[in-house]
């Protein structure tokens, strides 16, 4: 299963079935909305496991894309799944990638490194990588580059888009 499919509603339902089979159970035919709802309200341990992995993997994908695309302006996540998770998402493993990402940048912060300029650009942004759905897309004419991910219940993650603003010095 591709990363793009995994962090989508379709992937979520398929992964739920895999977890059920590994536990020796026949999984009910749940929708992504049912899985996320049961995870949030704590009524299904398998759904919670799926959502935990979903949030962590989404964080990994977002951080990788931000690094690859030089998204010094952040990561914005839209779609139908994440906004409905609310505090559950904020407390999930999604934000753990920021710490790991910062550690990577510290390792690359070497005057002899080819990545020195990239590192400095990323450190200038106080919200190195952030998400929110519904706040609007930042001004791409004057702001730094961002990565936009669309996470929907019916389709895989939309391709990352590097909305190229001016490079910060």
Average pLDDT over every residue of 96-100: 68
Q: Are 154 and 9 in contact (CB under 8 A)?
A: yes
pLDDT tens by residue, 2-57: 777 778 888 889 989 999 999 888 888 899 889 999 999 999 999 999 999 888 88
Q: Which residue has the higher pLDDT, 69 or 47?
A: 47
- DSSP, collapsed to helix, strand or coil, labels residue 75 as strand
Cα dihedral 161→165→167→169 (10° resolution): -130
| Contacts of the segment 91-95: beta carbons below 8 A, 24+ positions apart | 92/51, 92/52, 92/55, 92/56, 93/52, 93/55, 93/56, 93/59, 94/55, 94/56, 94/58, 94/59, 94/62, 94/131, 95/59
User: pLDDT tens, 106-160?
Assistant: 554 444 444 444 445 444 443 333 343 334 445 545 555 555 555 544 434 443 3
Quote the pLDDT of residue 48.
93
User: 60 and 29 in contact (C-beta within 8 Å)?
Assistant: no
Looking at the whole model, is its pTM more than 0.75? no
Banded model confidence at residue 101, pLDDT cuts 50, 70, 90: low
- Name the token pair of 131: 């998400």
Mean pLDDT (whole number) for 61-83: 71
Domain boundaries, the chain: 3-163
The residue count for the chain: 169
Structure tokens at 46: 């398998």
Do residues 50 and 15 lie in contact, with contact meaning Cβ atoms separated by under 8 Å?
yes
**pLDDT at residue 115, rounded to an integer:** 42
Mean pLDDT for the stretch of residues 52-72 = 79
The two structure tokens encoding residue 136: 């609007």
Q: Which of 31, 24, 76 is nearest to 50 (CA)?
A: 31
Q: Measuring CA to CA, which residue among 67, 132, 60, 65 is closest to residue 93?
A: 60
- Residue 130 has what pLDDT? 39
Which CATH entry fits the domain spanning 3-163: 3.40.50, 3.30.300, 3.40.367, 2.40.128?
Answer: 3.40.367
With cut-offs at 50, 70 and 90, classify the pLDDT of residue 88.
confident
């Amino acid at each position: 299963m591709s990363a793009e499919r995994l962090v989508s509603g379709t992937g979520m339902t398929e992964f739920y079935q895999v977890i059920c089979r590994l536990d020796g159970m026949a999984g009910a035919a749940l929708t992504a909305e049912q899985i996320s709802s049961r995870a949030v309200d704590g009524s299904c341990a398998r759904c919670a496991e799926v959502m935990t992995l979903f949030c962590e993997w989404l964080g990994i994908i977002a951080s990788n894309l931000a690094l690859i695309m030089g998204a010094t302006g952040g990561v914005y996540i839209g779609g139908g799944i994440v906004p409905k998770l609310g505090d559950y998402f904020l407390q999930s493993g999604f934000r753990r990638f920021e710490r790991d990402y910062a550690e990577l940048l510290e390792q690359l912060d070497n005057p002899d490194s080819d990545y020195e300029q990239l590192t400095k650009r990323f450190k200038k942004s106080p919200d190195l990588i952030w998400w929110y759905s519904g706040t609007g897309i930042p001004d791409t004419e004057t702001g730094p580059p961002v990565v936009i991910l669309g996470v929907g219940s019916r389709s895989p993650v939309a391709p990352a888009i590097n909305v190229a603003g001016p490079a910060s010095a």
